[in-house]
Amino acid sequence: MVRQRVRPGDPAPRGEIIGRVRMYELISAIAFGGRRRRVYGRVVALSGARPGDRVMDVGCSGGYLARLLAAAVTPGGQVTGVDPAAPAITYARRRAPGNCSFTVGTAQDLGVPDGSFDVVTSTLALHHIPEPERPAAFSEMYRVLRPGGRLLVADFRPSRRRLALHSGGHAMRHNDPDLIGDLATAAGFRLEGRGDLPLLRYFQAIRPAGGGA
């Protein structure tokens, strides 16, 4: 299938990466049932990205959201996509507009200087990060945002059917998108909003202007 689990001791940091990006693009288009462009357009709007902004998209896969963000920050803005799946980064680079770049990396170690971005986005990537490493991912997203910078994180919204199938189960508890709010505030973010889109639950947060490093 499209997932490849990286084991402890592998050169890449742990996490579940998606290497077959064409397959992922197809599955995503089907899952959103013709609404992918509209949903991700809403994600861009909700992120607050505007012309001139520097934006990082974490867990960017083939760069679908990054390309939409690149249009939103034009003129003058730049988008950087990060993903541990090298084939996804190659795919994204081939389709990148001039103000969009892509690097191999993980949310837990973004490898850029402090305060480099005005906006950080991450969609459908959090549940791929091992649970004990999620606080580190939020600390990194906080670190790379400038004070006053904005965060938009979204993950799968639990459907009633999935909740019924897994009620009380370990997997549901640990992939509960509502944990995003707790992780963000623990990292120092101030929560600004949350809501639902088709398939997604999103959280908006700000790195407070007076917040610590």
Please enumerate in sequence order all residues whose Cβ is within 8 A of that of 167, keeping only pairs 6 or more positions apart, or say none: none
Residue closer to ligand SAM, measured from CB, 61 or 99: 61
Residue closer to ligand SAM, measured from CB, 59 or 177: 59
Residue closer to ligand SAM, measured from CB, 39 or 208: 39
Smallest separation (angstroms) from ligand SAM to the CB of 84: 5
Residue closer to ligand SAM, measured from CB, 128 or 207: 128
Q: Which helix (H) or strand (E) holds 202?
A: strand 200-206
Smallest separation (angstroms) from ligand SAM to the CB of 81: 9
Residue closer to ligand SAM, measured from CB, 60 or 152: 60
Residue closer to ligand SAM, measured from CB, 147 or 200: 200
Please enumerate in sequence order all residues whose Cβ is within 8 A of that of 159, keeping only pairs 6 or more positions apart, or say none: none
Where do contacts with ligand SAM occur on this chain (CB under 6 A)? 15-18, 28, 58-61, 64-65, 83-85, 88, 106-108, 123-125, 128-129
Quote the CA–CA distance of 160 and 115 in Å, as a whole number. Answer: 39
- DSSP assignment string, 57-116: EET-TTSHHHHHHHHHTTTT-EEEEEES-HHHHHHHHHT--TTEEEEE-BTTB--S-TT-
Amino acid making up residue 68: L
CA distances from 62 to 10, 24, 58, 178, 184 (A): 23, 9, 11, 26, 25
Smallest separation (angstroms) from ligand SAM to the CB of 179: 16
Smallest separation (angstroms) from ligand SAM to the CB of 164: 23
Smallest separation (angstroms) from ligand SAM to the CB of 54: 18
Smallest separation (angstroms) from ligand SAM to the CB of 78: 18
